[in-house]
Chains A and B, each alone.
Chain A
Amino acid sequence: MQKLNEISILSGKGGTGKTSLAAALATLEKNTVVADCDVDAANLYLILQPNDYRTEKYISGHKAVINYDICTQCGLCKDHCRFNAIERKPESDYPEGKITIVETSCDGCWLCSRICPVNAINMVPSDKSNWFLGKYRYGKMVHARLAPGEENSGKLVSVVREQARQTAEECGAENIIIDGPPGTGCAAIASLTGANKVVVVTEPTGTGLHDMKRILDLAGRFQVKRYVIINKSDLNTEIRNNICSWCAKEGIPVIGNLPFDPRMVHSMVACKSIQEWAPDSEISASIHKIYELLTQS
């Protein structure tokens, strides 16, 4: 069996065009598998509109809940909590303040529930996040929705990627297109590990350049081939040249210069990829070449 080719699209800075590029690469060839790993703010489903035939719950972690019928207000949990998630809240019947969990600070480590001398703390699973598997017009898509304020987005990314791999094996797909999250933290790391190629989409702005260097630095720590695409490349020629010369020095190929084209936005508004909306445009031709390069080498 041919080895799977996992192409991860990242950027560091948000809004450079990862999802628009992913949508275009996902609508070029039948039997493609897509993994939307921006589980925090997923958008690719808006364009690919998958028909989900499987929905699963994802337990992102646990939150501590105090049973006040048992709690003696001893405060041992407060002394042990390193996340400052337990405080003594001023309340009339409690002269020293009532032991209370600050839900937004709780990391779900379980320590308070383990050390409570009277077992007054229960750990309740956070199960409001989901992942989905569906069919779209060119293949299959795995995507997810992390509930607001939940932890462990990196773990959910790993679940989405594993499901994408299984799906690709089942349907004999050769390529997995991964639409990654912004940033350089756990979700970005989980979108990189085990991928064959990483495509960093940047833009010729001061911040685009700064963030591109950080994500390429991160990617350089993994066994992954790195590529750069400059989106809205006509915005600032000077910075575009800086990006190109920096990449040349680092030995990272710049495989696309995509000029700003309002049709890119029009296609999004129409819920189509640029490839479907304007197949004869210059951008579509460039993306076609990028796809060939990424899938045939």
Chain B
Amino acid sequence: MRIAVASGKGGTGKTFVSTNLFAVAEKEYRDLTLVDCDAEEPNVTVFIDGNTISTDIINQHLPVIDKEACVYCGKCRDWCNYNAIICLPENKQIYLIEDLCHDCGACLAACQYNAITEIEKKLGTVTIKQYSDAARIIEARADIGVYSPVQVIKAALNKAENAELILMDSPPGISCPFIAAVVPADYVVLVTEPTPFGLNDLKLSVETLQQLEKPFGVIVNRAGLGDDRVYDWLEEKHIPLLMKIPFDKNIARIYSQSRLLVREDPSYEARFLDLLKTIEGSCKN
């Protein structure tokens, strides 16, 4: 079973939910993996950490143009849809703008003069950490300034293989990094907050998940803080409300100290366990 924890808006509590869910699932499952897919800002290991088993460097290919063999025909430039190649035949100049290259291989396929080879450039790392006998954490971490984290996220998800339960802490937003993390999921937990910003972004996430035909439910975090419009909307759209976590300075303080709520408060341990059972039930149907 693969559960993604996601939200359109940042800072609603994705990592809070996924790490607490991990802590209760650890007692229930013999083979559990939490994948931190928020490669631009990986935060899971701020809360739960383990012994590093392996760190893989994730690379992309970058073309290298051999200026002796190149005839400056410009076909590679024409085939590059990302404008990463500049070719000036009059001056016999050709360059690659590395940051724009998406590693699609079009230039290599375009060149009829065998003037293009490839080298590797680092995009980030995937680290596997053993948390306990039954549980591990896989962290996708994109290098700062890397254009897209998608390949690093995909590499991390591949490492999760077929664990009995895979939890995925997704990146915010609704664009390609979010899609990469939710496409493999059997169920998506959307975390929101009862404010106009939270509701607006929840609607965007729901629209995206409906297009992907993914089953999902919603957790309202910081309940009591804003207004009630989110509940009315969920009811109107028949979207399951999985859990309400109240706005509580004590919870915020525990979070700020990078501690897990379910370890501090048995009533929340029970509630997160219920949440896990509810999701399991939804996946079986």
Contact = CB atoms under 8 A, between A and B. Distances in A.
A149 B174 CA distance: 6
A183 B208 contact: no
Interface residues of B, number: 59
A40 B197 contact: no
A260 B147 CA distance: 34
A206 B148 CA distance: 25
Nearest to A239: B256
Contacts of B249: 235
Contact of A15 (B10, B102, B174, B212): B10
A248 interface: no
B212 A184 contact: no
Nearest to A40: B173
Contacts of A109: 81-82, 102, 104, 106
Interface in B11-56: 11-12, 15, 40-41, 43, 46-47
Given A108-B81, A185-B147, A207-B43, A19 B105 contact: no
B196 interface: yes
Given A43-B9, A206-B46, A235-B256, A146 B174 contact: yes
Nearest to A19: B197
A15 B12 contact: yes
A13 B257 contact: no
A150 B175 contact: yes
B121 to A, nearest CB: 14
Instruction: Find the residue from A62, A208, A271 having the highest chain B CB count within 10 A.
Output: A208
Interface in A206-227: 206-208, 210-211, 214, 217-218, 221
B91 to A, nearest CB: 27
A93 B193 CA distance: 49
| Chain A interface mostly | loop
A15 B195 CA distance: 12
B179 interface: yes
A114 B106 contact: yes
Interface stretch (B65-73, B138-146, B271-279): B138-146
A210 B212 CA distance: 32
Contact of B43 (A82, A203, A210): A210
A14 B7 CA distance: 10
Contacts of A111: 79, 104-106, 109
A278 to B, nearest CB: 16
Range for the number of chain A residues in contact with chain B: 35 or more
B109 A41 contact: no
A80 B81 contact: no
A269 B196 CA distance: 6
B134 interface: no
A46 interface: yes
B41 A211 contact: yes
Interface in A261-286: 262, 265, 268-269, 271
| Chain B interface mostly | loop
Contacts of B193: 15
Given A82-B105, A186-B147, A210-B43, A146 B195 contact: no
Nearest to A84: B154
A99 B212 CA distance: 20
Nearest to B210: A148
A236 B41 CA distance: 21
B79 A235 contact: no
A183 B196 contact: no
Interface in A102-156: 104, 107-111, 114-115, 146, 148-151, 153-154
B222 to A, nearest CB: 9
A148 B46 contact: no
Interface stretch (B199-207, B237-245, B262-270): B199-207
Nearest to B225: A265
A80 B109 contact: yes
B81 A186 contact: no
Contact of A46 (B82, B173, B197): B197
B172 interface: yes
Given A82-B104, A109-B102, A149 B211 contact: yes
Contacts of B46: 206-207, 210
A185 B172 contact: no
A258 interface: no
Contacts of B40: 12, 182-185, 188, 214
B252 interface: yes
Given A62-B81, A149-B179, 14 more contacts: A15-B12, A40-B8, A40-B174, A82-B104, A111-B104, A114-B79, A148-B208, A149-B178, A151-B175, A183-B173, A184-B142, A207-B258, A211-B41, A239-B256
Q: Nearest 3 pairs between A and B by C-beta?
A: A14-B10, A15-B11, A206-B258
18 contacts: A13-B11, A40-B8, A40-B172, A40-B173, A41-B173, A41-B174, A114-B79, A114-B106, A150-B175, A151-B176, A181-B173, A182-B11, A184-B40, A185-B149, A211-B43, A236-B253, A265-B225, A268-B197
